[in-house]
Amino acid sequence: MTLTQGQPPSMVGMNEKISVREADETVRHFVIRHDGVTIPVSRGGRGRLLVLCPGLSSTQADLCELAGLLRRDHDVVTFDLRGHGLASAAAGYSFEAFLSDLVAVMAELGRLDPDAAPVLVGYSLGADLAVHYASEHPDAVAGLVLIDGANPVPEPFVTEALLPEFRAMWEEMATRQEAERGTAHQVLLTAREILDLNVEIDAVRSGILDRYRRIDRPITMVMSASMAGDGAGGHALRLNRNWRAGMARLAREQPSIAVFRLDADHGLVFTHAPEIARIIRSAHGGAGSSSAP
């Protein structure tokens, strides 16, 4: 079972680093400094501008397969949130702090390409950040693709009954992540910080329908059929039911949203990258080969 589920930048500085070859495309790397943190950004590909926002406990390196597929016909920007990947650590972590990271990236892209409103793609927490960003900057995006996040679930995920299980799961995950320290896959947050953030995400999602009402851009959702896994009973059954109820609630409230459901759990962005790339391409096609998967 997996649940990983701001203030404007004070100063944005860009230190462009060198071009490298990845998947037959030139990818440029630079950093954005704001709010006391350093955010690494990568940009490459061809076609329509697209920004890919990772989720809690995921990094741009983790999303490399999806990013590589999209770069075939999109100009793809990826980055790390504070405390993730090659981004610097922060004194604290909150939804608003992560949102400020996205705001800083989008502000820099707006400075570099003032006439190019990107498609904003977010995974898990990144989907919630995308919805909040678009609701506050309605003219800054061309459309949204939300991957297994930003779901107005009727019940919180972190309940008293589930707390011991979640705490043990995130402590085990934090221990495993020790082996990733110093790499592009590292996550510097503690188990307690991840727990607190998931509680905060529950609160954010309780009011997210109002955010959707402020967005007048096309929205595509790619959702897992069994976000907590396909266990026959126990907590997974309740979590999956809650996830589906949130999707049904959103469909009633916002019938114009295109929803695609994949036979996967919350790790769908890692296990079903080609399918997700095809959905994004069909909804927000860029320039390039029509034969790309």
Query: Domains of the chain, with CATH numbers?
Result: 19-283 (3.40.50.1820)
Question: For 5-23, what is the mean pLDDT?
Answer: 34
- The span from the CA of 275 to the CA of 283, in Å, is 13
Q: CB neighbours of 7 closer than 8 A, spacing ≥ 6?
A: 35, 96, 100
Is 50 exceeded by the pLDDT of residue 16? no
CA–CA separation, 173 vs 266, rounded Å?
15
The pLDDT of residue 232 is 54
Rounded distance between C-alpha atoms, residue 169 and residue 191, angstroms: 9
Q: What percent of the chain has pLDDT over 90?
A: 76
Report d(CA 107, CA 251) in Å as an integer: 31
Structure tokens at 51: 């920004």
How confident is residue 176, by pLDDT bands cut at 50, 70 and 90? Answer: confident
> Per residue in 199-228, pLDDT tens?
999 999 999 999 999 999 999 999 999 999
**Dist CA 101 CA 33 (whole Å):** 9
| Alpha-carbon distance values, 133 to 103, 122, 127, 140, 200 (Å) | 7, 11, 10, 9, 17
